[in-house]
Amino acid sequence: MADPANTRAQPDGATGVLVLADGSVIWGKGFGATGSAVGEVCFNTAMTGYEEVMTDPSYAGQIVTFTFPHIGNVGANAEDVESQVEGAVGCVVREAVTPASNFRAEQEFGDWLAKAGKIGLSGVDTRALTRRIRLSGAPNAVIAHEPSGKFDIPALLRRAQEWQGLEGMDLAVRVTREAGEKWGGGPWALGQGYSRAAWENRPHVVAIDYGAKDNIFRNLVKAGARVTVVPAKTSLEDILALEPDGVFLSNGPGDPAATGEYAVPVIKALLERDVPLFGICLGHQMLGIAAGAKTVKMHQGHRGANHPVQRVGEGWGETTGLVEITSMNHGFAVDADTLPAGVEQTHVSLFDGSNCGISISGKRAFGVQYHPEASPGPQDSFYLFEKFVGMLG
């Protein structure tokens, strides 16, 4: 479709570019790291939390368009990093990066991006780009930054067109940790940082890392668990050898059906043994597959900090029908029409009616599509961690 934000002619002073697989070329000012990176272009509607977004492993293989025009005002700091592994490869913003103006800032956002190896592009009509994604779906593209302003557009276009895209791609293997570890961090407090995790006399959760955000583990600790984190391809035998009271299935990037080729058999075996399970995002999707449902690639996905989700399942008592304000980041979803008998839909999106939660009858197993650890609401969803830890006895 025609778009006024796209032009073939490079304007004076352009040092960055976004080249879409359909041939559209969007110019702007580059910042952060130099070079180029390929990914799927998505948009995020949150007004804050850009550092957490850029370091969320669920964004691996993606270029994030921030719909809020002023990005950078709180700077960046080490405490807000969600993971040290790959996250978003780049970001697109409307205005030039705002100078840091926050007492917690340790770096300017642009400097932090450069150190993290992530590319930024400013001066883009992000409203037009977001509308394009909403109408036509999330496109594959290459983002590039070169201070000289010299770009080989045909080569960048070929790269965008040759990239396979996220559908069918297992990205968990790129972002999972290499070895298991006892998780040592607790909740954060202003002026104190992160506390140390208590370990003794607590139920033991084994968390499978498909691309997990660190704050998930801190919330499990806050809810009363001790946590051991293991890599994505950890075998059933190795998980059971850790003697878990429950197993957590983490968020992560890519296609759940692809990651599920090795993850779902393990999840099915845990279900058969009635091990308590809790899944978030990718973990939720693969729990759904293990229970007999299918997942689908969404047209544009859900990404933001203000997504309304309603509790619709039985068992919520007086809170059935209650609406939570949630944080989301997903481009795939469990297809509610494929949920088999014995699998209850517990939460739905009030934006489009898509599935946002399931519970498996006769099992201590449930999952949610959204991110309760991201402090939406800000505490609307912490009950999920308490619910899970309460199952462990």
Residues in contact with 63: Cβ distance below 8 Å, sequence separation at least 6, in sequence order: 18, 37, 39, 40, 41, 42, 88, 89, 90, 91, 92, 141, 143
| Same structural domain, 44 and 141 | yes
- Choose one of 162, 195, 229: the last residue of a domain: 162
Task: Just list the catalytic residues.
Answer: 281, 371, 373
| Same structural domain, 182 and 134 | no
- Choose one of 104, 132, 162: the last residue of a domain: 162
Share above pLDDT 90 across residues of the chain, in percent, rounded to a whole number: 91
| Same structural domain, 184 and 322 | yes
Could you list the residue range(s) of the whole structural domain that residue 288 is in?
Answer: 172-391
pLDDT at position 5 over 50: no
Q: What is the pLDDT at residue 2?
A: 38
Q: How confident is the model at residue 8 (pLDDT cuts 50, 70, 90)?
A: low
Output DSSP code: residue 233: T
| Same structural domain, 130 and 207 | no
Residue 149's identity, in one-letter code, is G
| Same structural domain, 186 and 233 | yes
Please state the pTM of the whole predicted model.
Answer: 0.96
Q: What is the CATH number of the domain that holds 28?
A: 3.50.30.20
Going by their DSSP bridges, the two strands 343-349 and 295-311 should be labelled as: antiparallel
For 209-213, what is the mean pLDDT?
98
Q: What is the pLDDT at residue 378?
A: 85
| Same structural domain, 133 and 157 | yes
| Same structural domain, 271 and 226 | yes
- Least confidently predicted of 188-192, 235-239, 294-298: 188-192
Residue 7 lies in a domain: no
Residue 167 lies in a domain: no
Q: What is the pLDDT at residue 7?
A: 52
| Same structural domain, 177 and 297 | yes
Count of C-beta atoms within a 10 Å radius of residue 95: 14
Residue 287 lies in a domain: yes
pLDDT at position 159 over 70: yes
User: Cβ distance 228 to 182 under 8 Å?
Assistant: yes
Rounded to whole angstroms, the Cα distance separating 61 from 330 reads 12
pLDDT at position 1 over 50: no
Count of C-beta atoms within a 10 Å radius of residue 359: 21
- Least confidently predicted of 136-145, 190-199, 355-364: 190-199
Share above pLDDT 70 across residues of the chain, in percent, rounded to a whole number: 98
- Choose one of 162, 180, 201: the last residue of a domain: 162
Count of C-beta atoms within a 10 Å radius of residue 101: 10
Burial 75-89 (b: 16+ CB within 10 A, else e): bbeeebbbbeebbbb
**Which residue has 């592009």 as its token pair?**
121
Alpha helices, H only, the chain: 50-54, 109-116, 126-136, 153-162, 172-175, 214-222, 236-241, 256-272, 282-290, 383-391
Residue 5 lies in a domain: no
Between the alpha carbon of residue 23 and those of residues 12, 13, 114, the distances in Å are 21, 21, 27
Count of C-beta atoms within a 10 Å radius of residue 281: 29
Angle in degrees, CA 159, 162, 163, rounded to 5? 85
Q: What is the pLDDT at residue 3?
A: 45
Residue 356's identity, in one-letter code, is C
Handedness of CA 243, 248, 251, 255 (dihedral sign): positive
How many distinct structural domains can be found in the chain? Answer: 2
Closest C-alpha among 41, 19, 33 to residue 119: 33
| Same structural domain, 211 and 88 | no
User: Cβ distance 221 to 227 under 8 Å?
Assistant: yes
pLDDT at position 4 over 50: no
The predicted-structure confidence for 44-66, as pLDDT tens digits, reads as follows 999 989 999 999 999 999 999 99
Count of C-beta atoms within a 10 Å radius of residue 147: 9
For 214-222, what is the mean pLDDT?
96
Q: What is the pLDDT at residue 197?
A: 87
